[in-house]
Amino acid sequence: EGKNIVKDFKVSSNALKQPMMRASNDVSFKMYKSRGMAVVGESGSGKSTIAKMIAKMYAPTSGEILYRGRDIQSIKKHSDLMKYREGVQMVWQDPFGSLNPTHNIFHHIARPLKIHKKVTPGNKKELEERVYDLLEQVGLIPPKETAAKYPHQLSGGQRQRVNLARNIAVGAEVVLADEPTSMLDVSIRAGVLNLMEEMKTEREMSLLYITHDIATARYIAEDLCVMYVGHMVEWGDTDEIIHRPQHPYTKLLVSAVPDPSKSIHTKLEGNNGDIPLWTPDSLGCPFAGRCLHATPRCSDELPGVTKLADNHFVRCHLHDQ
C-alpha cells in the first residue's frame, strides 16, 4: 500500500531555474494478493519511480509505503531486509542486463535458492531437482539442456522466463514488473504475459505491471492507474476505465489502443508538444498544457480527487462535484 507518496529529485540545474523535479506527487494505491495493478503512462510519467521506491532503491520524500502494515522505511535490520527482498521482487525491462553472461542458467536459478535458503545446504540433488522443476514451470524445456546454457544462447523471451523463475524460486509475494515485455518481439510477448498471469492467479502473487501499453494492461491487471508527470490522473477498475475513460489524458490513451504501434507521442504531438517538467512549486493540473478542455482554473489549481464509482477515481476539474 502506498500512502500520499511524494518524491523529489535533484536535477542538473544548468538549464533549469528549478533544481528539483517532482517525480511523484501524492501517489496512493493498494495492491492485493492474486491481483494485478497496472501503472500506465508515457516515459517521464513517474511509473518506474513508484516501482523503485517499492523496491527500496530510494526512499519517498514524504508519504509512506506499507508492506503488511509496516512502513518499509523502517525495515533496516539485515535479516528483515532479506525477507523484504525475498517477498518483493523486481523484473526489469532488459532481460539481458539482469543476467550475468559468465554464468549458466543453472547458476542463475540456484543462487537465489541458496541465498534465501530454499534448499537444504549442501544437498546437490535437491538443488538440481528444484532448478529443473522451476525451469519446467516457466516453460523452459527440456530443463536440463536449458540449465546448461548461457544467457546469450537464449532468446529475450526465454531470458525473461529465467527472471520469472527466480521470482518463483524465492516465493515472491509481490512482483514489480517494469515494462517486462517492451524489449521483446511482439510474437513472444503474449507468452511472457501469460506466465505472469499464471503466477498471479496460481501462486497468488500481487503484480505491479508498469507499461506504456494500455492494451496489455487490460490483459493482466484488474486495477489500473493512469499517470501523467508524476500524478495519478485516473485509477480504479481496469475494464471500467477502458470502457468509460473520464480524464482527457486517459481518453487519449484509450483512443490510441486499436493501433498500439502508433505511439502516444505521435498522437499528442499535434496537441502541444512536450511533457512538462513538474517541480515542487508547480501549480495546477499537470495536463493543462496539452488539454483541449483546459480553463484558467486548470493552470492554477491542482484538481482534487473525484470518486465516480466504487472503484473509479479521477483528478480533473471537469469532474469536480
The footprint of ligand SF4 (CB under 6 A) covers 247-248, 285, 287-288, 291, 293-294, 298, 303, 316-318
Smallest separation (angstroms) from ligand SF4 to the CB of 310: 22
Smallest separation (angstroms) from ligand SF4 to the CB of 233: 7
287 binds, among ligand SF4, Mg ion, none (CB under 5 to 8 A by kind): ligand SF4
Smallest separation (angstroms) from Mg ion to the CB of 48: 3
- Choose the stretch contacting Mg ion; rule: CB under 5 A; options: 41-49, 102-110, 143-151, 201-209: 41-49
248 binds, among Mg ion, ligand SF4, none (CB under 5 to 8 A by kind): ligand SF4
Give 32's contacts (C-beta < 8 A, 6+ positions apart): 206
DSSP structural state of residue 276: P
48 binds Mg ion (CB under 5 A): yes
Can you tell me whether residue 277 is helix, strand or coil? coil
Q: Do residues 210 and 39 make contact, with C-beta atoms less than 8 angstroms apart?
A: yes
Q: How far apart are CA 180 and CA 196, in angstroms?
A: 10
Can you tell me whether residue 130 is helix, strand or coil? helix
CB-wise, 210 or 220, nearer to Mg ion?
210
Q: Do residues 162 and 154 make contact, with C-beta atoms less than 8 angstroms apart?
A: yes
181 binds Mg ion (CB under 5 A): no
All three cell numbers of 77: 535490520
Q: In Å, how far from its chain's centre is CA 35?
A: 13
CB-wise, 22 or 247, nearer to ligand SF4?
247
DSSP structural state of residue 20: E
- Choose the stretch contacting Mg ion; rule: CB under 5 A; options: 30-38, 40-48, 81-89, 105-113: 40-48
Q: How far apart are CA 57 and CA 106, in angstroms?
A: 27
158 binds Mg ion (CB under 5 A): no
Residues that bind Mg ion (CB under 5 A): 48
